[in-house]
């Protein structure tokens, strides 16, 4: 696959086949992505690969915490506290498109909640990768981290796999 095709084929997938992913593919993706640049090669991240029963237990706990109303303790502020244009309109358009594609009306708060809860199950993907950035990391490391994450996602496309990065877990 050509780079242009790999980049344009990457999208955030929210429905996965109930099919295991070979450990060799996961290792290959991570081996390739580790070549992403980082300041003085610090690579200030760690990756936990979770699948099978461990994934199921962890995701049940995450979803239960979400549904119980447990207030999230964010490691960092992902979204702006106050939305301004043009970002506010883009966010709204994205949400409307996603929910209309899923036939979830604006009034159907229960189905909206169920769809949001799917974030905590990694949309039922057979494998979840949890990425951790060292607490000492500063803003430059976040740039490095982003390049690493993009490399993981592109390597997954190259392996015929889909991904969906999860801001819900910040």
The Cα 92–Cα 78 span in angstroms is 17
CATH number of the domain located at residue range(s) 3-169 in this protein: 3.40.109.10
Q: What's the whole-number mean pLDDT along residues 55-81?
A: 91
- Give yes or no for residue 135 having a pLDDT over 90: no
The Cα 37–Cα 45 span in angstroms is 12
| C-alpha Rg value of the chain to the nearest Å | 17
- Give yes or no for residue 70 having a pLDDT over 80: yes
Residue 164's pLDDT band (boundaries 50, 70, 90)?
very high
Question: Looking at the DSSP assignment, which residues form a beta bridge with residue 131?
Answer: 47
Q: What is the pLDDT of residues 19-37, one digit of tens each?
A: 999 999 999 999 999 999 9
pTM: 0.91
Mapping DSSP to helix (H, G, I), strand (E, B) and coil, where does residue 156 land?
helix
pLDDT score recorded for residue 129: 97
Question: Residue 49 class from Cβ within 10 Å (0-12 exposed, 13-18 middle, 19+ buried)?
Answer: middle
Question: How many Cα atoms are found within 13 Å in the side-chain-facing hemisphere of 79?
Answer: 11
Contact 149, 131 (CB under 8 A): yes
């Amino acid at each position: 696959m050509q780079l242009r095709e790999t980049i344009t084929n990457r999208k955030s997938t929210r429905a996965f086949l109930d099919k295991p992913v070979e450990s060799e593919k996961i290792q290959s993706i991570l081996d390739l992505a580790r070549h992403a640049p980082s300041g003085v090669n610090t690579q200030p991240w760690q990756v936990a690969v979770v699948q099978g029963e461990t994934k199921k237990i962890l995701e049940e706990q995450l979803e239960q915490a979400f549904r119980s109303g447990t207030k999230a303790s964010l490691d960092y502020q992902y979204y702006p506290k106050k939305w301004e244009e043009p970002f506010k309109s883009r966010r709204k358009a994205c949400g409307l498109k996603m929910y209309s594609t899923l036939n979830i009306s604006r009034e159907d708060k229960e189905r909206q909640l169920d769809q949001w809860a799917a974030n905590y199950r990694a949309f039922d993907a057979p494998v979840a990768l949890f990425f951790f950035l060292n607490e000492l990391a500063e803003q430059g490391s976040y740039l490095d981290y982003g390049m690493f994450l993009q490399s993981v996602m592109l390597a997954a496309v190259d392996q015929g796999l889909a991904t969906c990065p999860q801001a819900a877990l910040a």
